[in-house]
Structures are given as structure tokens and as C-alpha cells.
Amino acid sequence: MARRSQSSSLGDNPLDPNYLRPHYREEYRMAIDALVEEDVEGYYNFLQSANVVDFLSRSEIEHIKSTVQSPQSAGNVPELPYREIDQDGSSDTYWPLHSDLDAPGLDLGWPLQQHSFVGPTEVTMLVNPADPERPSIKEQARRLIKAAHQ
């Protein structure tokens, strides 16, 4: 059976007095990053520089510091050589004119239909009640049906 922490989204009831609404701010994530990377002083310096209220209790800070793990480096993966980034762009910028591959040749316009009808078309607009000098819709429909052929 799942614990409450494992199935929190299954039975979340906003009317429950113990319900805690999810809340996310990018400043909170950056403050926790500063705590992990620069310790408590970095955390408080970031809070002060970003003008963010202290949102972690002392026990939460101690818990984060005691449970954080540095990422494990893969021992047998070769390290890629470092390249200097050009002054005019960065590694995450897309420059379509400076691509290694040519743009694919695409057909422009509407696709051609395989079995399209080529011939005269006729549009007749029928309104009800019909004009006094025109026949009724029934008479027009009968005339069109009689004149129809394949």
C-alpha cells in the first residue's frame, strides 16, 4: 500500500485543512542551489540580493545540507574537449544561415490531387421562400434531378 507521500496527488482535497497547495518560484530554486553550492552564507546572500523572504526553516536547511549528494561522474566516459564560445553567439543559439546541412527542397503550393474533377462547375443557391419570378425549391430540385447524369 502506498504511503501518503507517494500518492499525494491521488487524494488531494483542497478542502482538507491539512492540504498544502503546490507553490513554485524560480527564486526558491535558485536559493536552494545557492545553499547546495555555496553553503548557508551563499543561501542568505542570495535571499538578500534577490529580495526574497527566508522560506526554509533551520531544520529544512540542515536536512538539505545533510542529504545532498554530488553527482557521480562516469569513470569510463571520455571527457569531451572544451571549445571556446565565439563572441557573436553561444552554444544554445540556432543560426539557420550557418548550418552544416542544406535546407531540404520542399514543394511549394497546394498538393496535387490524384483524382480531381476537371470540368465545369455549377452553383445554384436556393432560398425559401423563393422569389415570385423563380420556381420553388421543390421544382428546382426536381429539374436538377431530371437533368443530372453521370
- What DSSP string describes 92-148? T---GGG-SSPPP----SSPPPTT---S--------SSPPTTS--HHHHHHHHHHH-
pLDDT value at residue 6:
47
- Where residue 92 falls among pLDDT bands split at 50, 70, 90? low
Residue with cell 423563393: 130
- What pTM did the predictor assign? 0.39
For the cut 60, the answer to whether the pLDDT of residue 123 exceeds it is yes
Domain range for residue 36?
A: 19-68
Task: Evaluate whether residue 64 is within a structural domain.
Answer: yes
Q: Is residue 48, in this structure, part of any structural domain at all? A: yes
Task: Specify if 59 maps to a domain.
Answer: yes
Distances (CA, A) of 87 to 7, 90, 91, 114, 149: 49, 8, 11, 52, 73
Judge contact between 46 and 31, C-beta under 8 A: yes
Q: What is the mean pLDDT of residues 111-138?
A: 77
Q: Write the burial class of residue 52 (CB in 10 Å: 0-12 exposed, 13-18 middle, 19+ buried).
A: middle
pLDDT at residue number 3: 47
CB 101 within 8 A of CB 92: no
Give me the number of domains the chain comprises.
1
Query: Does residue 27 form part of some domain?
Result: yes
Residue 2 has pLDDT above 70, yes or no: no
Has residue 55 been placed in a domain? yes
Q: What is the pLDDT of residue 66?
A: 93
Looking at residue 65, its pLDDT comes to: 92
